[in-house]
Structure formats: C-alpha cells, structure tokens
C-alpha cells in the first residue's frame, strides 16, 4: 500500500468499495474518515486492494513572525505533554501536540493582547510517571525562565497528578518572585466541550492582571464555561475522574474566580505572596528518598506495615480523626498488637511516620481516643494537621530531603506553605 496517513483512498473489499481519508491504523484493521465525518474501521482480512485517489496536500509551514510588545508582560509556558496544547488536523481527524509560541497564538489569538508568550516543550510524560527528579527538573526550568525575565510561568500537565506537582513546587520554592500556575485539561481539544482553551487563557489573564506570586492550580470551577478558579497548590485535589470541574479546594477556599470571557477577577481571599524583584530560592528533593503511602482499612496485617522497613518515611491514611488499628483487646484483635509492634519497630529504625485523614476534609486530632494518644507517644506525627494525604506525602519527602530527623519532627506539624490551616473551616465540597 503506497497510501499514507491523510491521503484520500478507495478501499476495495470483497463485497463493497469505501472511500475516505486514511487515519492512523492498527495491524489488524485500517481506519478511514468518511465524508460524513464519521470514522470507520475495516478489517484487513476483508480488503482486496487500496487505491490512492488523492495524496494529502502539504500545508504551508511558514508562520507569521511574532511581534513582541514592550508594554506587555512575558509569560513562559513550559509544556510537559498532555492534551492542553493539542490541535486537530481536520484532514486526518487526529490531534497532535503544538508547543511553539506561533502554534499557540494561532490556536488562541487572544493571547497576543494579554502577554508576550514564550513556549517550549521541556519534557513529554504521563503525569503518573513523574518522580521527585521531575519536580527538581521543572523547578530548575522555572528558575531559568525567571532569570530570563519571565513575569509568570504556566506548566501544562496531565490532570491526574497536578495536585502532587503543585504541592512539590510549593515546597521547593522557599522564595518565589512570580506566579506559577499548573494547568490541565480534562477534555482534549479534539472533543466537544474541551476545557483546554479556557483553562489556559484564564491562567494567563489572571497572571497579567494581578500581583499574585504563589504556586497554584487553574482549572474549571463549574461544568459550564463560565469561569475558572485559582486553587492553592497545597490545598487542592482532583475529585472526579472526568468532570471538567474535577478539582476542588480542600479545607480552604480558592484564592480567586477568573471570568476570562467577561474580563473579571473575583477575589475570595487576599492573603497571598505578591510579586517582587528577588531571586528565587530553591530546596530540592533527593531523588532516592523513599516515602510510602498506606491507607488503613479493616482486617489489616502487620506485614502491610513492616513492608516499609527500608523506607525513609511513611504516610498513614488514618480513619476518622486519626485512628489506627493498634489496640489489642481480645483474641480477634491480636493482629492489632502485632501492627503496633511493627510500627514501633519502624520508628526505632528512624523511619518518619505521619498521619493524614483519609476523609480528606477535616483535621487530625490525636488527643481524642486512646489509640491516638498511644500513637503520639510512639512518635507518629500529624496532630492537628489538615493536609490531604497527597500533600502530606510530598511534604514528608521534601522534609526528609532537606532536614535532619529531629528538625522534621518540628517542621512537619508547622504550616510552611499554607498546607495547614490556622483554624478549621466549613469548606466542605465547595
């Protein structure tokens, strides 16, 4: 078959002939885009011949030069892959990545009125494959852009682990002169109802119109295309697999709502760090730090805890206010005694163990029940913390990367980046 993707072809089968545009295909079947706009898969075993009707016409590659305005701020977009910068090729029906400033201005011409755009692909990865080394890499790329005069940084990323990245960058940057916003898309641009454009445009609009200088997340606030919100990097979480408004603030309010279409920003709270001329200060992760994340559940065994004996730290997703299965009262709870012994052994080996609420909302209080007080006496941390398990995981790994064990005990239960609220609130499933 001499035909290539994008060519118009006639597929001759034993019982019929079908015309369409050749799309990316599998070994056992080919895919055509029909004139109706629908895609059709044809098993190769049915095909007698494929005739080339018309080759794909190459599109001009020359792009218009970008005009730089001295009156506009400069926003750097550091792409890590994902769907947010994909663009549909209507000749083939497929979506491909477009990362250059020229591409973005062609897709979103509104950007030229907001900022001078610098855009490049720094890495291509699934968010679930990210490691501590990726957070260090991104932080250094941000530092590089700041040194080159960027007024704001956008990091497009796959949505599944955005809240991990936002928390990691929040802790890495002890001093940050400009804003960093992590932006994703629940629906790619080749699907109806994509949220990619509004998320990106809202993030850039917010950066160019405010003096905000924190790490945050910008995603849809509602299912409709009415507005996005700016969420705190250490106090948000993905709460739905597919909804456009999947991200929610946890135990805290959003910083602001952004209505890009109406050019309006509504502040919810104004206690944030502001832009200023200073050098960023970074404290990075150690790549080889090993931190576990274990959800407590009924019928646990001591081996589930002793598994982490060669780790540096362990986050326990505790039930309720911070309960652990460590109370032996009768024959049926004898395993709870073994679990307590396993945890004591880990602590004696110097492994840092902390609690976070598996309920997500609310605060750990280790003074209410006997097992909680025993856990505190053993050396398990987390009392009065309302961090999500994901933020607790990131914070513990970052502390282990930068401080000695005695200092970690002091800093873990101390609010460093807005990860621990000063007081409990009623912000439940906002």
Q: What's the count of helices (H) and strands (E) in the chain, helices before strands? A: 10, 22
Q: What element of type H or E holds 313?
A: strand 313-318
Q: What are phi and psi of 115, to 5 degrees?
A: -160, 165
Is 159 a known active-site residue? Answer: yes
Residue 383: name the closest of 314, 318, 293 by CA.
Answer: 318
The token pair at 80 is 């890590």
Catalytic hit among 74, 83, 165, 296: 83
Catalytic hit among 74, 80, 92, 159: 159
Q: What are phi and psi of 130, to 5 degrees?
A: -70, 145
Strand partners, 291: 313
Strands 152-156 and 180-183, bridge-based pairing: parallel
Is 160 a known active-site residue? Answer: yes
152-178 CB burial, b ≥16 within 10 A, e <16: bbbbbbbbbbbbbbbbbbbbbbeebbb
Residue 291: name the closest of 162, 401, 381 by CA.
Answer: 401
The token pair at 323 is 């309960």
Is 359 a known active-site residue? Answer: no
Catalytic hit among 238, 312, 391, 395: 238
DSSP 237-270: EE--SS-TT-EEESSS--SEEEETTTTEEEES--
Catalytic hit among 89, 91, 160, 371: 160
Instruction: Tell me the C-alpha distance between 104 and 109, whole Å.
Output: 8
Is 238 a known active-site residue? Answer: yes
The residues assigned a catalytic role are 83, 159-160, 238
């Amino acid at each position: 078959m001499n035909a290539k993707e994008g060519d118009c072809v006639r597929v001759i089968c034993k019982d019929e002939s079908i015309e369409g545009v050749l799309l990316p295909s599998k070994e056992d079947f080919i895919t055509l885009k029909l004139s109706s706009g629908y895609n059709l898969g044809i098993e190769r075993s049915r095909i007698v011949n494929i005739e080339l009707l018309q080759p794909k016409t190459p599109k001009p590659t020359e792009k218009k030069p970008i005009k730089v305005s001295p009156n506009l701020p400069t926003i750097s977009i550091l792409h890590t892959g994902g769907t947010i910068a994909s663009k549909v090729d209507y000749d083939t029906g497929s979506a491909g990545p477009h990362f250059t400033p020229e591409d973005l201005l062609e897709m979103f011409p509104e950007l030229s009125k907001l900022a001078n755009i610098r855009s490049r692909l720094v890495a291509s990865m699934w968010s679930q494959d990210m490691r501590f080394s990726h957070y260090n890499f991104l932080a250094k790329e941000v530092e590089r852009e700041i040194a080159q005069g960027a007024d704001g940084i956008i990091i497009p990323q796959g949505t599944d682990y955005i809240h991990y990245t936002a928390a990691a960058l929040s802790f890495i940057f002890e001093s940050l002169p400009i804003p960093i916003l992590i932006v994703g898309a629940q629906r790619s641009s080749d699907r109806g109802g994509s949220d990619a454009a509004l998320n990106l445009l809202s993030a850039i609009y917010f950066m160019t119109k405010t003096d905000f200088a924190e790490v945050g997340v910008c995603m849809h606030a509602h299912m409709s295309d009415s507005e996005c919100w700016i969420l705190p990097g250490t106090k948000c979480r993905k709460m739905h697999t597919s909804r456009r408004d999947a991200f929610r603030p946890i135990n805290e309010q959003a910083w602001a709502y952004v209505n890009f279409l109406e050019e309006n920003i509504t502040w919810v709270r104004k206690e944030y760090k502001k832009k200023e001329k200073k050098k960023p200060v970074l404290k990075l992760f150690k790549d080889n730090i090993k931190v576990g994340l274990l959800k407590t559940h009924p019928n646990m065994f001591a081996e589930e805890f002793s598994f982490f004996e060669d780790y540096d730290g362990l986050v326990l997703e505790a039930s309720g206010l911070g309960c652990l299965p460590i109370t032996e009262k009768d024959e049926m709870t004898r395993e709870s005694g073994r679990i307590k012994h396993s945890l004591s052994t880990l602590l004696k080996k110097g492994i840092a163990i902390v609690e976070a609420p598996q309920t997500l909302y609310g605060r750990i209080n280790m003074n209410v029940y006997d097992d909680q007080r025993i856990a505190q006496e053993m050396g398990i941390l987390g009392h009065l913390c309302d961090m999500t398990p994901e933020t607790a995981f990131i914070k513990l790994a970052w502390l282990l990367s930068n401080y000695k064990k005695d200092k970690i005990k002091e800093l873990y239960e101390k609010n460093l980046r807005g990860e621990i609220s000063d007081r409990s609130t009623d912000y439940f499933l906002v």
